[in-house]
Structure 1
Amino acid sequence: MRLEVAEKKLIEALVVLLLNARGKIVSIKATSLAKIAGLGENHGAILKAARLLQKLSMYKFVRIAPERRGNKTYRYVVKADDELWQLVRKDPEKAREVLMKIISK
């Protein structure tokens, strides 16, 4: 699968996840994002999701949650007062465009 198609699916899954959130915090792991996007559980799909989340964390759209256990996987968090959450809730289509621009850098 081409990288651009996978990135679009991951971004779409992230936007849908934030739109359907019930609480005020959404916790995301790369494996769960890859599954939601329909990319499967293979190593390549999980790495694509991890790279996307890492890049978004560099631009302060998602935060890395502190892990108390010895787990090596990162958990990313988006809170209701974060910029990404507000953007997705206000205009999901614009949020998709902004996220695509960010990851294409």
Structure 2
Amino acid sequence: MKFENIERRLVEALIVLLLNARGKVVSIKATSLAKMAGFGSNHSAILKAARLLRKLSMYKFLKTEPSSKRSKTYRYILRIDDELWQIAKKDPERAKEIILKLLS
């Protein structure tokens, strides 16, 4: 599978997660994002999801916190007042384009 196709499916899964959010906070892990995109526990897809989430946190779209004190995995937090949430709710296609531009 091509890298661009994997990225696109991961971004689409992230946008669908935000569109279907019922509360005020969404927390995401790389493994859960890869599973939502339909990759299961494919290790390369999980690594690509982790890179995607890390890049989004570098651009201040997501906040990062460790999953637990002993674990090396991170949980990415998105709140209702964050910019990415607002863009995704108003115009999901524009949100996809913005994220894909950031990644390239």
TM-score per shorter chain, which class?
over 0.9
Percent of counterpart pairs with the same letter?
64
Please tell me whether the aligned partners of residues 66 and 72 of structure 2 are also in contact (alpha carbons under 8 angstroms): no
TM-score, normalization by structure 1: 0.95
Unaligned runs of 5+ in 1: none
What's the CA shift for 1:65? 2.2
Secondary structure, counterpart of 1:69 in structure 2: coil
Please tell me whether the aligned partners of residues 34 and 40 of structure 2 are also in contact (alpha carbons under 8 angstroms): yes
Q: Find the counterpart in structure 2 of residue 90 from structure 1.
A: 90
Q: CA RMSD in A?
A: 0.9
Secondary structure, counterpart of 1:26 in structure 2: strand
What's the CA shift for 1:66? 4.3
Q: Distance in 2 between matches of 1:87 and 1:99?
A: 11
Secondary structure, counterpart of 1:64 in structure 2: strand
Unaligned runs of 5+ in 2: none
Q: Distance in 2 between matches of 1:51 and 1:68?
A: 20
What's the CA shift for 1:69? 3.0
Residue deviations 1:31-53 (CA, integer Å, cap 9, x gap): 00000001120211110000000
Q: Find the counterpart in structure 1 of residue 28 from structure 2.
A: 28
Q: Find the counterpart in structure 2 of residue 50 from structure 1.
A: 50
Secondary structure, counterpart of 2:27 in structure 1: strand
Instruction: Name the amino acid aligned to 1:27.
Output: S
Instruction: Name the amino acid aligned to 1:40.
Output: G
Secondary structure, counterpart of 2:26 in structure 1: strand
> Aligned residue pairs: how many?
104
1:76 correspondence with 2:80: no
What's the CA shift for 1:68? 4.2
Q: Find the counterpart in structure 1 of residue 63 from structure 2.
A: 63
